[in-house]
Structure 1
Amino acid sequence: MEHHLKINREFFDPVLKGIKTFEIRFNNRNFQVGDLILLNEWDSSSEVYTGRKVRGQIMYITDYEQKEDYVVFSFKLLHENMVV
């Protein structure tokens, strides 16, 4: 399964640089290890997508110490599918 997710502009560049390799998300999508994610950069000040996207694959999921129905998942970037 592939999940299309909004990511704020301030977090997008750290993802591209490989510094930010996790997301904390409300688990209304039933995220699973192996799922693909498409992170779409969002400019919250103008409330528009910038057009920059990056694709990754979920590698690990935990709900340890999270709010109810939230998970943390780590992901790896799939550079062959990256669009910037």
Structure 2
Amino acid sequence: MPEVHYLKTWTPFFKDIKNGIKNFEVRKNDRRYKVGDTLILEEFEPTTGKYTGAWIPKEIIYKLDDTCFVKEDFVILGLKDIKI
């Protein structure tokens, strides 16, 4: 069953995702990410240490965690827009 993951996303990366420049996430593989899961990317401003209240929903459409290509304990997630 697909899960929903709420992720803190620093403002520069959040803006690139919002503007369609970035369609992936590199994350510590500390959750059970699966293709089909939903990410709620929550904008976090590191200079103030606060969330802005902005968020973007994305669906995981690809997962790369093979240690031949990705550092151990990390994962690259391919994302697509979710229409709400």
Residue 41 of structure 2 corresponds to 39
Residue 57 of structure 1 corresponds to 59
**Mean alpha-carbon deviation: is it higher for 46-55 or for 62-71?**
62-71
Residue 75 of structure 1 corresponds to 79
Shift of 1:18: 1.3
**Mean alpha-carbon deviation: is it higher for 34-43 or for 66-75?**
66-75
Q: Alignment RMSD, CA only?
A: 0.9
Distance 1:79 1:54 in 2: 10
From 47, 70, 74, the counterpart of 1:66: 70
Structure 1, gaps ≥5 residues long: none
Structure 2, gaps ≥5 residues long: none
> Under a length normalisation based on structure 2, what TM-score does the superposition of the two structures give?
0.90
Shift of 1:66: 1.3
From 11, 15, 36, the counterpart of 2:17: 15
- Name the SS of the counterpart of 1:68 in structure 2: coil
**Percent identical residues:** 36
> Under a length normalisation based on structure 1, what TM-score does the superposition of the two structures give?
0.90
From 27, 30, 52, the counterpart of 1:28: 30
Runs of 4+ in 1 over 2 A off after TM superposition: none
Kindly provide the CA deviation profile for residues 13-63 of structure 1, in whole angstroms up to 9, marking residues without a partner as x.
111111100001111111000000000000000000000000010000012
